[in-house]
Chain A
Amino acid sequence: MQLIECPNCGKREEIEFHYGGQAHIAYPEDPAATTDHEWSDYLFFRDNPKGPFAERWYHGGGCRRWFNAVRDTTSYRFLAVYQPGERMPALPGTRVTR
């Protein structure tokens, strides 16, 4: 069972966490102003990269706080964890896709 480093609690077992999908996808400023295409993009479409991926995680079995993490989707290794609202840390070979 993998250990995930919660930025508030430290390393904890993965069963304490929930996956929250891709990070850095903001709720549109004015949803009414979005086109159907833009809105469906927000609702349904997410990146699926091979390699580093910025994700949201929720430590539901611990501090009950959300945080962001960069995880390598090929090795499952967590490369960085950071607070919501913070910018994705610069890591070699990673890019923010949105």
Chain B
Amino acid sequence: MTARRLPTGGSIDRGAPLAFRWAGTDLTGYQGDTLASALLGAGIDTIGSSVRLGRPRGITSAGTEESTALVQIEKPFPEPMLPATTVELAEGLAARGITGQGRLADRDDPARYDARHAHADLLVVGAGPAGLTAALAAARTGERVILADDDIRVGGSLLDYGETVEGVPGEQWAAGVLAELASLPNVRVLVRTTVFGIYDDGFVLAVEHRSDHLGAAARPGRSRERIWRIRTTTTVIATGGYERPIAFANNDLPGVMLASAAHTYLHRYAVLAGESVVLFTTNSTAYGAARALVAAGARLTIVDTRPEIPAGLDSGCRNLGIEVVTGHHVVTALGTDRVHGVTIAPRRAGGPHVAGASATIDCDLLLVSGGWNPVLHLFSQARGTLAFDERLQAFVAASEVRGFELAGLAAAESAGYDPADPFAFALHPVEGVWSIPLPADGDAGGSDTRFVDVQRDVTVSEILRATGAGLRSMEHVKRYTTLGTALDQGKTSGLLGSGVVAQELGISVAELGTTTFRPPFSPVGFAALAGADRGELYDPIRVTAIHPWHLAHGAEFENVGQWKRPWYYPLPGESLDEAVLRESIAARTMVACMDGSTLGKIDVRGADAAAFLDLLYTNLMSSLKVGSIRYGVMCGPDGMVKDDGTVIRLAEERFLVTTTTGNAAAILDWMEEWLQTEWPDLRVFAASVTEQWVTIPVVGPLSRAVVQQLAPGVDASAAAFPFMATRDAVIAGVDGRIDRISFSGELAFELNVPAWYGQAVWEAVIAAGEQHGITPYGTETMHVLRAEKGYPIIGQDTDGTLSPHDLGLGWAVSKKKPDFIGKRSFARAENTRPDRRHFVGLLPVDPEESIPEGAQIIASREVTIPMPMLGHVTSGYRSAALGSHFALALISAGRDRMGERLFAWSEGRVIAVTVTDSVLLDKEGTRRDG
């Protein structure tokens, strides 16, 4: 006989049976069951097998500390490695025990997950008698209180053991407190909610399980799990304790259970976990469980390690007919698939060693109580220190942590416990018994089966191997043996491990210490942590005002930061290469247009704006005439190029500065940093206008005709509208601005209109250009066109270690200005080395051979690694205009190597190349005026 459901009792709802499936068998449990209690109620107490040794594993606890009953959930949605003791039974649940490892779902999780923020004066973790009392006391003062508990209702241990509080049954008392809390507007009670992480300044994370228990009755769209992000002034930790096991031979067999768990299964779930019971204990707390089990009809023998037990306990047991064997150990649990008996032996006084002959007791349930550990995980996460209490044989809080209060004995007493009642609250000294010596007669077989961490299959012998190897710290023993690293994170095995090591080293547990607790307290799904921030909501997507047109015209998109930019516009059946050739030929021979709206745009104005830009840019900006544009380079104080772009002087005290797309926010911050911290006396304001303007470059020899048609009020001739000039203009009926800027080397006009009119103006450009064969082009063609002209892209061709001179932009560095950011660094010895990398062009000897980005530049065709690396390729494209592949590269002393034959190595391919100037097309700049 093993476990069975009793006909009456428990706080399950017998009027609400729940059908579930376990390992292919249909079973029934009740509302209020966990999967573990429902299985025990159905007589099933073997769950799976252990990960390393394949030994059978049963159910050892009734809560979050479970180390053996790991299940794979199959329905409603596959989820691996959940303790059966924490899975609330629901109609239609399907699960099986884990043999070895679990299995992740092979499909997307359809459930919703979300997060909420909450603020509290007091957060109470744990809704047992102490937590409820603390929450109620604070709530009555009007403080904002959050009470969180991982169980399905409040009450904590009161749900488990049938104790009374203030003279009334515990459950009834808890229900009364809950009713008062629920009536107060300043209180939020969260059940099924695990507080799993304590962070700085009262920041606490909890996960609420919201829909699994509802099954099909859950409202569609209700989130399955919710992360609570709580900010609290004070946290009360009222998380109770975990009973701990003892390491004796075969202590991992199904049918070996913590004493308190059997009590919980009996009182709360009306499940009698065994008929014929041995209780092995080191302390008085387990006697309450013994009394309850006997009252329910079990036969029970107590094996107590203590030579004598307190008088009250002794007489209490005699009255109930419980035999108590004092001064003995359980040495071995007998059985192979599950426990059927124990061998016991008298212990030698004052030590762990077994003396004398063994006796055997038959049983179908072996309960163990090695003492209790206060659950101090959250306190430890808050950097509270722990100290070993000899009386309790457990670690207790040893320091005060600002913002934290612990519920302990005083709180328990004020909640109505009577410490004088030995069954209700036994605080007699606990004996420090950790591991029992192996039996001399070899009952346990050849190998050590005294498990310390049953989930990791770590035995006493393996821990002794660690100490034998010289390890003296629990942190080291943990990592050597994997003790305490499993799903349960050593909730029951951690201190047991410390005890075993201390015993072996002949030192006190206090001296040895324990390992550090870190978040999360118990496993949290990534889906819960991600919440709603997945898929399309993972990161904001930014699109320009013309985006719908790009979509409608089949553009392929490229992600540039958060922006979606048209990459190329393939015609039906066209490849990327084919589309880019077509688009770039159009730009070089006819007319083409692109959406350049993502370009960073900053409005800089104020009486000192010109002086400020003189400090920021390497070039002189104060000499710029109103209506003119200048290309500019920005460096950091180290003299390395930070960004580039154009500066447009719109008025005497107003400039429009453009930045690279990816640097728009960073450059605005850069300006603010200098304005606020270094030059606060400068009268300058900077504001982002990136999204306010749509920018449309119209490019190519026929672009003037198109622009003239769109903006008849502007004389677009080369004489009247020179290169690097800006004009206010009415463009397709919209007030805007035209800039003569070219990022392709071709005649080009950049049309700027308020974003609201962006798509209308774009469509007008397409219509006006139709007769000239206007071709929209994307970022890939833009890159080819700019690379043919040797224009570097900051962040692609540069890496923060290049000066303007390295890039061949020395012409943009003012020699007149007394200072600007970076100037002094140009004179540093490191920056004047002749072997610095220079920005150059590369042409393959075979024009058909591509030169991949990232290829390493070497001096010989023969590759013998290691060999000197002269540089690397930063950009590589195929050029229609050059009739060849080409590349841009950073090469040591590159400008001194013009015409030199070098080799580009890429993934085993060696490409012969010739070093050229970085400007490969129209070096004289004859094309820019059309």
Contacts of B828 in A (CB 8 A): 36, 39-40
A92 → chain B closest CB, angstroms: 19
Cβ of A89 under 8 Å from chain B: no
**Count of A-B contacts judged by CB separation below 8 Å:** 54
Question: Given contacts A1-B201, A2-B201, A84-B680, are A31 and B823 in contact (CB under 8 A)?
Answer: yes
Cβ of A71 under 8 Å from chain B: no
In the bound complex, do residue B678 and residue A3 qualify as a contact, i.e. CB atoms below 8 Å apart?
Answer: no
Contacts of B677 in A (CB 8 A): 20, 56, 66, 84
Contacts of B680 in A (CB 8 A): 84-85
Q: What's the Cα separation between A85 and B828 when bound, in Å?
A: 29
Cβ of B353 under 8 Å from chain A: no
Which B residues between 655 and 700 are near A, CB-CB below 8 angstroms? Answer: 669, 672-673, 676-678, 680
Contacts of B823 in A (CB 8 A): 31-32
Q: What's the Cα separation between A34 and B638 when bound, in Å?
A: 14
In the bound complex, do residue A66 and residue B824 qualify as a contact, i.e. CB atoms below 8 Å apart?
Answer: no
Which B residues between 613 and 660 are near A, CB-CB below 8 angstroms? Answer: 637-638
Contacts of B201 in A (CB 8 A): 1-3
In the bound complex, do residue B676 and residue A66 qualify as a contact, i.e. CB atoms below 8 Å apart?
Answer: yes
The chain B residue with its CB closest to the CB of A64 is B672
Q: What's the Cα separation between A43 and B637 when bound, in Å?
A: 7
Question: Given contacts A1-B203, A32-B818, are A39 and B824 in contact (CB under 8 A)?
Answer: yes
Contacts of B26 in A (CB 8 A): none
In the bound complex, do residue A76 and residue B200 qualify as a contact, i.e. CB atoms below 8 Å apart?
Answer: yes
Which A residues between 33 and 53 are near B, CB-CB below 8 angstroms? Answer: 34, 36, 39-40, 42-43
Cβ of B829 under 8 Å from chain A: yes
Contacts of B673 in A (CB 8 A): 20, 58, 66
The chain B residue with its CB closest to the CB of A42 is B637
The chain B residue with its CB closest to the CB of A66 is B676
Q: What's the Cα separation between A60 and B201 when bound, in Å?
A: 21
Which A residues between 11 and 37 are near B, CB-CB below 8 angstroms? Answer: 20, 26-28, 30-32, 34, 36
Cβ of B166 under 8 Å from chain A: no
Q: How many residues of B contact A (CB 8 A)?
A: 22
In the bound complex, do residue A58 and residue B824 qualify as a contact, i.e. CB atoms below 8 Å apart?
Answer: no
Q: Which residues of A line the B interface, CB within 8 A? A: 1-3, 20, 26-28, 30-32, 34, 36, 39-40, 42-43, 56, 58, 60, 64-66, 76, 84-85
Cβ of B199 under 8 Å from chain A: yes
Cβ of B819 under 8 Å from chain A: yes
Q: What's the Cα separation between A34 and B819 when bound, in Å?
A: 12
In the bound complex, do residue B825 and residue A2 qualify as a contact, i.e. CB atoms below 8 Å apart?
Answer: no
In the bound complex, do residue B676 and residue A39 qualify as a contact, i.e. CB atoms below 8 Å apart?
Answer: no
Contacts of A40 in B (CB 8 A): 828
Q: What's the Cα separation between A64 and B676 when bound, in Å?
A: 10
In the bound complex, do residue B676 and residue A36 qualify as a contact, i.e. CB atoms below 8 Å apart?
Answer: no
The chain A residue with its CB closest to the CB of B229 is A1
From B673, B676, B678, B829, residue with most partner A Cβ within 10 Å: B676
- A selection of 19 A-B contacts at a CB cut-off of 8 Å is A1-B201, A2-B200, A2-B203, A3-B201, A3-B203, A27-B678, A28-B824, A31-B819, A31-B823, A32-B819, A32-B824, A36-B827, A39-B828, A42-B637, A43-B825, A56-B677, A66-B672, A66-B676, A76-B200
Interface of chain B, main secondary structure: helix
Contacts of B203 in A (CB 8 A): 1-3
Contacts of A66 in B (CB 8 A): 672-673, 676-677
Q: What's the Cα separation between A86 and B638 when bound, in Å?
A: 26
Q: Which residues of B line the A interface, CB within 8 A? A: 199-201, 203, 231, 637-638, 669, 672-673, 676-678, 680, 818-819, 823-825, 827-829
In the bound complex, do residue B672 and residue A1 qualify as a contact, i.e. CB atoms below 8 Å apart?
Answer: no
Q: What's the Cα separation between A66 and B671 when bound, in Å?
A: 12
In the bound complex, do residue B676 and residue A84 qualify as a contact, i.e. CB atoms below 8 Å apart?
Answer: yes
Question: Given contacts A32-B818, A84-B677, are A39 and B200 in contact (CB under 8 A)?
Answer: no
In the bound complex, do residue B825 and residue A60 qualify as a contact, i.e. CB atoms below 8 Å apart?
Answer: no
A48 → chain B closest CB, angstroms: 20
7 more A-B residue pairs beyond the given contacts A32-B824, A58-B673, with a C-beta to C-beta distance below 8 A:
A1-B199, A1-B200, A3-B201, A31-B823, A36-B829, A43-B637, A84-B680
Q: What's the Cα separation between A31 and B818 when bound, in Å?
A: 9
In the bound complex, do residue A65 and residue B676 qualify as a contact, i.e. CB atoms below 8 Å apart?
Answer: yes
Q: What's the Cα separation between A20 and B670 when bound, in Å?
A: 11
Q: What's the Cα separation between A26 and B828 when bound, in Å?
A: 20
A79 → chain B closest CB, angstroms: 14
B518 → chain A closest CB, angstroms: 16
Neighbour of B824 across the interface among A3, A34, A56, A65, CB < 8 A:
A34
Contacts of B829 in A (CB 8 A): 36
Contacts of A27 in B (CB 8 A): 637, 678
In the bound complex, do residue A30 and residue B200 qualify as a contact, i.e. CB atoms below 8 Å apart?
Answer: no
B540 → chain A closest CB, angstroms: 14
The chain B residue with its CB closest to the CB of A76 is B200
Q: What's the Cα separation between A2 and B202 when bound, in Å?
A: 8
Contacts of B678 in A (CB 8 A): 26-27
The chain A residue with its CB closest to the CB of B818 is A32
Q: What's the Cα separation between A16 and B680 when bound, in Å?
A: 23
Q: What's the Cα separation between A51 and B201 when bound, in Å?
A: 19
The chain B residue with its CB closest to the CB of A29 is B819
A17 → chain B closest CB, angstroms: 12
The chain A residue with its CB closest to the CB of B199 is A1
Contacts of A76 in B (CB 8 A): 200
In the bound complex, do residue B819 and residue A43 qualify as a contact, i.e. CB atoms below 8 Å apart?
Answer: no
From A3, A27, A40, A58, residue with most partner B Cβ within 10 Å: A27
In the bound complex, do residue B638 and residue A43 qualify as a contact, i.e. CB atoms below 8 Å apart?
Answer: yes
The chain B residue with its CB closest to the CB of A34 is B824
Question: Given contacts A43-B637, A66-B676, are A30 and B819 in contact (CB under 8 A)?
Answer: yes
Contacts of A58 in B (CB 8 A): 669, 673
Contacts of B637 in A (CB 8 A): 27, 42-43
The chain B residue with its CB closest to the CB of A33 is B824
Q: What's the Cα separation between A30 and B828 when bound, in Å?
A: 16
The chain A residue with its CB closest to the CB of B638 is A43
The chain B residue with its CB closest to the CB of A3 is B201
B205 → chain A closest CB, angstroms: 9
Contacts of B669 in A (CB 8 A): 58, 60, 64
Question: Given contacts A84-B677, A84-B680, are A3 and B200 in contact (CB under 8 A)?
Answer: yes
B18 → chain A closest CB, angstroms: 40
B836 → chain A closest CB, angstroms: 17
B531 → chain A closest CB, angstroms: 15
Q: Across the A-B interface, give the 5 residue pairs with the lowest CB-CB distance, nearest first.
A: A31-B824, A2-B200, A3-B201, A66-B676, A1-B203
The chain A residue with its CB closest to the CB of B679 is A27
Contacts of A42 in B (CB 8 A): 637
Q: What's the Cα separation between A64 and B200 when bound, in Å?
A: 24
The chain B residue with its CB closest to the CB of A85 is B680
The chain A residue with its CB closest to the CB of B203 is A1
Q: What's the Cα separation between A3 and B201 when bound, in Å?
A: 6
Contacts of A64 in B (CB 8 A): 669, 672
Q: What's the Cα separation between A42 and B677 when bound, in Å?
A: 15
The chain B residue with its CB closest to the CB of A56 is B677
Contacts of A65 in B (CB 8 A): 676
B195 → chain A closest CB, angstroms: 15
The chain B residue with its CB closest to the CB of A68 is B677
Contacts of B200 in A (CB 8 A): 1-3, 76
Q: What's the Cα separation between A1 and B201 when bound, in Å?
A: 7
A5 → chain B closest CB, angstroms: 10
